[in-house]
Amino acid sequence: MPEKSSPVRQEPRRAGFTLRELEVLRALVETGKTTLAAQRLGLSQSAVSRALAELEATLGRQLFDRSGGRLVPNPDALAVNDELGPIFAALGRIVDRSSAASSHGGTLRIAAPPTIAHRFLPPIVARFTKTNPALEIVFEVLSSDVLVTGIAEDRHDIGLTDTAVVHDGVRSDLLVATEAICALPSRHRLADLEIIRPQDLEGQPFVALTRRHSGRSQIDRFFDKVGVRRHMVIETATAVSAAEFVREGLGVALLNPFPIVHQLGSGIVVRPFAPAIPYRACFLSPASRPLSLAAADFMAQVRKALI
């Protein structure tokens, strides 16, 4: 008795077609070459050929004839392409509407202390404003303690500061962690050292931030602990003014490198300081409510600027 042959398994025919295949069809109708269609769509030539083959298999008919190295659309291809016109026009309107929706409206209230506000944020805020023309931005320059209170009381949507913050009404998100650098006049004798250590600053004229800065108390405690006495020449309110007094030769300073380290200019050299004195720049936002979408996007833009 002859052995029964097993039936040949038929591959199931794929139902429907993909948007990519329809994009390939339109590109081929308009360009006539797989190479040009591939360039337009950002695909490989083989991917274009494969998409066309799958579309023809789904429709059950050939769509293009080859002539002189070109793909010539036949009447079936032209008919399908005509039907696709309104579809792709509608898709374009959807994309435009989505892009518009990603632009924020309302008001975004941003606050930062002077050094960060003047030396870091302006170009970022400007770009964010241009990409969100319907968004009103209020940009406040405040001392760190006033900023923290304002955030806790929901007077600002987002703040950026390098002050250590412990407050139940404030949410804190780390932006960047840094370590203190020593800023010296460029011709200072300590400029020849690769690393500045506490004992190097014994008796040195010193430019300090005012005592309202959390960084100032941190540095004072450090030097008290190691038993090194500095000669305090001047106290000043901002890292920018401290750097200018260093440039003028009044003394040396320990500074947070963020955000001024690349903007110091001539007349100042900076050296690492060891052991490390840490700083943390953080975003602050009200703990009483979730972060707004505009504030979250602004935070993302600030992070991107540091990459």
What is the CATH classification number for the domain harbouring 86?
A: 1.10.10.10
Instruction: Give the structural domain span for 132.
Output: 106-176+281-305
Q: Are 167 and 110 contained in the same domain?
A: yes
We report the CATH number of the domain holding residue 236 as 3.40.190.290
Question: Which helix (H) or strand (E) is 296 found in, with range?
Answer: helix 293-305
Same domain? 140 vs 288: yes
The answer to whether 227 and 203 have CB atoms below 8 angstroms apart is no
Residue 6 lies in a domain: no
Do 169 and 50 lie in one domain? The reply is no
Cα–Cα distance for residue pair 41/31, rounded to 1 Å: 12
Per the CB < 8 A criterion, the answer to whether 252 and 202 are in contact is no
Number of domains in the chain: 3
Q: Are residues 262 and 146 in the same domain?
A: no
Domain-located, residue 252: yes
Shared-domain flag, residues 157 and 297: yes
Going residue by residue through the chain, which has 307 residues, state the pLDDT in tens, using 9 for 90 and above: 444 444 444 444 445 778 888 888 888 888 888 888 888 888 888 988 898 888 888 888 899 988 877 888 898 888 888 888 777 777 766 655 555 446 888 999 999 999 999 999 999 999 999 999 999 999 999 998 899 999 999 999 999 998 878 889 999 999 999 999 999 999 999 999 999 999 999 999 999 999 888 788 889 999 999 999 999 999 999 999 999 999 999 999 999 999 999 899 999 999 999 999 999 999 999 999 988 999 999 999 999 998 7
Q: List 141's β-bridge partners, or say none.
A: 112
What are the residues whose beta carbons fall under 8 Å from the beta carbon of 264, sequence distance 6 or more? 183, 243, 247, 270
Based on the domain organization, do 210 and 288 belong to the same domain? Answer: no
Report the alpha-carbon distance of residue 267 to residue 252 in Å, rounded: 12
